[in-house]
Structure 1
Amino acid sequence: MAGLEELLTPTVTGIAVALLVMFSVAGLIYGLFQPALSGSKRSDKRLQAVSARPQSEKQRRQVQDNNRRKKSIQDQLKDFEDRQRAKQEKQNNASLKARMEQAGLSWEMKHFVIFSVVFAIIFAVAGLVLSGSLLITAGFAFVGGFGFPRWYVGSRRKKRFNAFLDEFPNAVDIIVRGVKAGLPLGDCIKLVAREAREPVASEFRKIGETQVMGVSLAEAVSRLPDRVPLAEANFFSIVITIQQKAGGGLAEALANLSKVLRARKAMKGKITALSSEAKASAGIIASMPFAVAGIMFMVSPNYIILLFVTPTGHLLLAGCAVWMLMGVLVMRQMINFDF
């Protein structure tokens, strides 16, 4: 026992413990990485991949056809996305004539110029009657000649797009029912042109007229987003283009598209309902300065009139107008949801 105690010195004990820890860690590492080091894991994966392959020639051919079809669809989607990106950049810089066409106005530029001149005169007369100042009259004329006509075109354009979105899912449903009944796609488009409401009917009528001129159906449908630059029209164009080039179940694809369109419409209504409170708050906040100024003018006109008859008051009104405009733009951006 005395000899054993002499051998079990602290140094020897520490070395023994270190060796035991080292062998334990080495065994643990070997147990974890042994399959990867021996190559058995790779062989198991390869065996599973081989066993998962279709065994018959028919199955292998079907898998190859599906892979080629997927690759073809991916290539077409990439090409279509590139073209749509170029179209979107062009639409963002759309000319005034293109915006008038999108608004459903059959005007030429001379008609727009006449419209602008007439409203410039009307606004100038109103400014002269209300203020008697030539500078304010010139400002009114500028707004009537350049601002109001473009606002009118933009308002008509937005109203027409909203009407298109309301009717478009019904038009897609008509095409789905026609395709399921065995009608050709061209006849279904003509049916929509006869049965749907405006502006969907006129846009599908243009598709049929373009096809009569010798243009393919896919190309005629691809021009729809140029006239109606909306995501929904773009979706429809993509579905028709891919189906015409790659094949597949058109009725099922359009039925899914109809569900997407109705879901987007429901989401838009939900966003409108949720943002109505914010819009009402923004309207109240924006109208408060004018309401307070009107009340002050009725209660103490001598106190508020200084803003309109003194240079310092004019400077304060100009500053208030700038800050009000900035506040209104910020609130508009906060409640303007895009999806």
Structure 2
Amino acid sequence: MNMQTLALAFLAATAIGGLAWVFLYPVLSGEKKAENRRASVAKSEPAARQVDKTQRSRREQVEGSLKELEARRQKEKRLPLSSRLTQAGLDWTPRKFMVASAILGAVCFVIAVLAGGGLLAGVGLAFAGGFGLPRWVLSFLKKRREKNFLKALPDAVDVIVRGIKAGLPLFESIKVVAADSPEPLRSEFLAIIETQAIGMPLGEACARLYERMPVPEANFFGIVVAIQQKSGGNLSEALGNLSKVLRDRKKMAEKIQAMSMEAKASAGIIGSLPPIVMLLVYLSTPQYISLLWTHPTGQLMLVGCVIWMSIGIFVMRRMINFDF
């Protein structure tokens, strides 16, 4: 009895001492006052610091503008199918794309039915082949085209800057880029030349580059040219700063990709382990693993495993998908 009393007293004293340490020690030791003082000092910036903040470098302004433009464009409504086909670099009409998707879905349905999958499996495979696969391919082509465009854009901007410094007009410098650049940069700048040739101002023609290539760098290039055409200014300096920012963003993207490769490899290994183990068990003892799709309880467990694995892969993808 005495031991229980001593144990309870010790626990009570420890609990009271812990609470006092958490709540009373910061006040008595002055840590709370020091923290408030540091917060007040951090909030009130000196006048010289405020002046430096208002006079930021052009590079920081360009980076901030790119982020604002990207956030603004993400809030816009979904693009029609014709614009998505143009952004993917395809000259198809929406009707041709829909017909091809319908044919692919019908082929997948026939294959599933002939393979003995049943009507439900045929409908599911037809939906995946006619609706999901074509749009995935369209998104893949769009991203690949944007990646190739961003890879060649800094060099093209440098060519324009050197041409302007050498005395060439902006339109002639764009012609040089259109003649010597790789695809898709060549076709995009040719579109700018063709649009300007029919009477549209060069600034507006460059501003429309974003409609065909929806990346913030292309949008900012169009805005810089459009502002210079309206209000004047040192275009070579502005484009030179833009080229520097584009190269820094490219370095940052490559650095992020290198740092996230370990997490991507871990996600791939973890996601592929269950199917691989299931296949190996089926090859060795098929009667043992076949209960997963022959017994109702096994089917329920298999569906639950697929759902949880999908959630895990989605969470890991969100964790390693960096947006900058």
TM-score bracket, shorter-length normalisation: 0.7 to 0.9
Q: Which residue of 2 aligns with 1:330?
A: 315
Task: Measure, in 2, the Cα distance between the counterparts of 1:272 and 1:262.
Answer: 15
Task: Measure, in 2, the Cα distance between the counterparts of 1:212 and 1:86.
Answer: 32
Q: 1:150 aligns with which of 135, 148, 153?
A: 135
Task: Measure, in 2, the Cα distance between the counterparts of 1:174 and 1:139.
Answer: 51
Q: Which residue of 2 aligns with 1:266?
A: 251
Q: Which residue of 2 aligns with 1:93?
A: 78
Change in 2 beyond 3 A, CA 1:271/1:125: same
Change in 2 beyond 3 A, CA 1:87/1:270: closer
Residue 126 of structure 2 aligns to which amino acid in structure 1? A
Give the alignment of 1:185-204 within 5 angstroms: 185-204=170-189
- Cα shift at 1:126: 3.4
Is the CA contact 1:308–1:314 (under 8 Å) kept in the aligned structure 2?
yes
Root mean square deviation of aligned Cα: 2.2
Give deviations 1:251-310, integer Å, cap 9, x for gaps. 111111111111111111111111111111000010011011112212322111001111
Task: Measure, in 2, the Cα distance between the counterparts of 1:91 and 1:228.
Answer: 15
Q: 1:307 aligns with which of 268, 283, 292?
A: 292
Task: Measure, in 2, the Cα distance between the counterparts of 1:86 and 1:317.
Answer: 40
Alignment gaps of 5+ in structure 1: 1-69, 71-76
Residue 232 of structure 2 aligns to which amino acid in structure 1? G
Is the CA contact 2:209–2:222 (under 8 Å) kept in the aligned structure 1?
yes
Q: Which residue of 1 aligns with 2:230?
A: 245
Between 245-254 and 178-187, the greater mean CA deviation after superposition: 245-254
Q: Which residue of 1 aligns with 2:278?
A: 293
Q: Which residue of 2 aligns with 1:141?
A: 126
Q: Which residue of 2 aligns with 1:161?
A: 146
Give deviations 1:85-140, integer Å, cap 9, x for gaps. 89726755111221111001111122112210221123223323444322111110
Is the CA contact 1:91–1:226 (under 8 Å) kept in the aligned structure 2?
no
Q: 1:205 aligns with which of 174, 190, 195?
A: 190
Structure number with higher relative contact order (C-alpha < 8 Å, ≥ 6 residues apart): 2
Does residue 109 (structure 1) correspond to residue 98 (structure 2)? The answer is no
Q: Which residue of 1 aligns with 2:15?
A: none
Task: Measure, in 1, the Cα distance between the counterparts of 2:305 and 2:128.
Answer: 20
User: Is the radius of gyration larger for structure 1 or structure 2?
Assistant: 1
Q: Which residue of 1 aligns with 2:163?
A: 178
TM normalised by structure 2 equals: 0.76
Aligned residues: 261
Task: Measure, in 2, the Cα distance between the counterparts of 1:261 and 1:89.
Answer: 20
Give me the identity figure in percent. Answer: 50
Give deviations 1:184-231, integer Å, cap 9, x for gaps. 001111111111111111111111111111111111111111211111
Q: 2:269 aligns with which of 250, 260, 284?
A: 284
Is the CA contact 1:211–1:217 (under 8 Å) kept in the aligned structure 2?
yes
Task: Measure, in 1, the Cα distance between the counterparts of 2:203 and 2:303.
Answer: 55
Residue 101 of structure 1 aligns to which amino acid in structure 2? T
Q: Which residue of 1 aligns with 2:303?
A: 318
Partner secondary structure for residue 316 of structure 1: helix
Moved over 4 A (4+): 83-87, 89-92
TM normalised by structure 1 equals: 0.72
Residue 122 of structure 2 aligns to which amino acid in structure 1? T
